[in-house]
Amino acid sequence: MNILFKGFKTELMPTPEQKGIILRTIGVCRFVYNLYIGVSRERHEQGEPFMSGMTFSVWLNNEYLPANSDKLWIKQVSSKAVKQAIMNAERAFKRFFDGKAGYPRFKKKGKSDPSMYFVRNGANCVIDCERHRIKIPTLGWVRLKEYGYLPTDGSIKSGTVSTRAGRFFVSVLAEIPDPEKQTPETDGIGVDLGIKALATVSDERVFANVNQTKEAQRLQKRLRREQRKLSRKYESLKKRNPKGEATRQNIQKQRLTVQRIYYRLDCIRTDFLNKTIAELVKTKPAYIAMEDLNVRGMMKNRHLAKAVSEQKFSEFRQKLTAKCAALGVELHIVDRFYPSSKTCHCCGRVKRGLKLSERVYSCECGYTADRDYNAALNLRDTERYKIA
């Protein structure tokens, strides 16, 4: 049987003591990550060869720490987390050498914090997890906010703890057996993604745009208001007002308020995405067909960028791919250049000048249908796809 790796992320409710350990560990990881980048930069400028993560680690323990006794706090946190921070920095360099990324940057406190890595202690050990808590090495049992989401069957191999907007999260990687391909119960379906509705399905189901619900609109309005407040505070700091320190604290507070609202909005969107995907696979279709959306290209259109990012198309595809793989449903990714919206599902004519504002597709052959529904039918039936 094949083994699949599956990731889960959920919120933690650590005790104040555990919060202290997490923040200290993340602080050390940030320091070591930045030290590695700093040292590598210097070596590069002096024409010395690149130092691997392993070599850096040995140097840190055998040369740097003995010479810098004020830095011994590095040894007071999980050595596995520190090691992982070093390996992450090494990976950033490798990506840079391969031309896949820019020169590695220093991690900034509160902005690009590393996360705290943990792993089971040996091949025969497990990371214990119960419905309401998870046992993380160096932290002990930590309470979970959402019950029953993480796997409790001993399949968790490793994970990371991170913080965002004053909250704490755990991401774990679990090994799950690859399911046998299921027997489909319904025909294949086509899914057209869009702004007006998130998803229009060829079986006539429509999943609305969650950003247009009352709750989301209310939060967005609040977000805009609080963001304006924040930028006004920045402005007043720039004018060197005499109460600079108070303003700085105020800014911190305001930033947290903005992050919190943003986080809530994000949760609403993610939640809706998860529900939509669950509904799509629930009927156990023979396959699901979706288009290979050019999200990057869409983001370049400034009229669309905001709406596109709010719909989380990339995340949708990622999650649908994972879900289909886990359930053994075939996922068709339809060729990007297949004109799913412009093609008449009835006679196959392609309407060249179809405008975005034309919500109803009507063809010379007499066929008319909702634009997105017509596209979903075409996606379902086209042969121009790759299997994800």
* Chain contacts with Zn ion (rule: CB under 5 A): 344, 346-347, 349, 363, 365, 367
Provide, rounded to whole angstroms, the least separation between the CB of residue 85 and Zn ion. Answer: 59
Cβ pair 144, 12 in contact under 8 A: yes
Residue 254's nearest CA partner among 236, 237, 231, 238 is 231
DSSP secondary structure letters along 268-304: HHHHHHHHHHHHHHHT-BSEEEEE---HHHHHHSTTT
Provide, rounded to whole angstroms, the least separation between the CB of residue 383 and Zn ion. Answer: 19
Nearer to Zn ion, 347 or 360 (CB): 347
- E strands within the chain? 3-13, 116-119, 133-136, 140-144, 156-164, 167-177, 189-193, 197-201, 206-208, 287-291, 330-334, 360-362, 368-370, 385-387
Nearer to Zn ion, 269 or 345 (CB): 345
Nearer to Zn ion, 49 or 366 (CB): 366
Nearer to Zn ion, 72 or 365 (CB): 365
Nearer to Zn ion, 287 or 367 (CB): 367
DSSP state of 134: E
Provide, rounded to whole angstroms, the least separation between the CB of residue 151 and Zn ion. Answer: 50
Provide, rounded to whole angstroms, the least separation between the CB of residue 345 and Zn ion. Answer: 8
Question: Phi-psi category of 98—alpha, beta or left, where left has phi over 0 and alpha has psi -120 to 50?
Answer: alpha
Q: Which residue has the tokens 């911190």?
A: 252
Question: Phi-psi category of 241—alpha, beta or left, where left has phi over 0 and alpha has psi -120 to 50?
Answer: beta
Provide, rounded to whole angstroms, the least separation between the CB of residue 186 and Zn ion. Answer: 27
Provide, rounded to whole angstroms, the least separation between the CB of residue 356 and Zn ion. Answer: 20
Handedness of CA 271, 274, 280, 284 (dihedral sign): negative
Pairing of strands 385-387, 330-334: antiparallel
Provide, rounded to whole angstroms, the least separation between the CB of residue 366 and Zn ion. Answer: 7
Nearer to Zn ion, 267 or 347 (CB): 347
Nearer to Zn ion, 359 or 386 (CB): 359
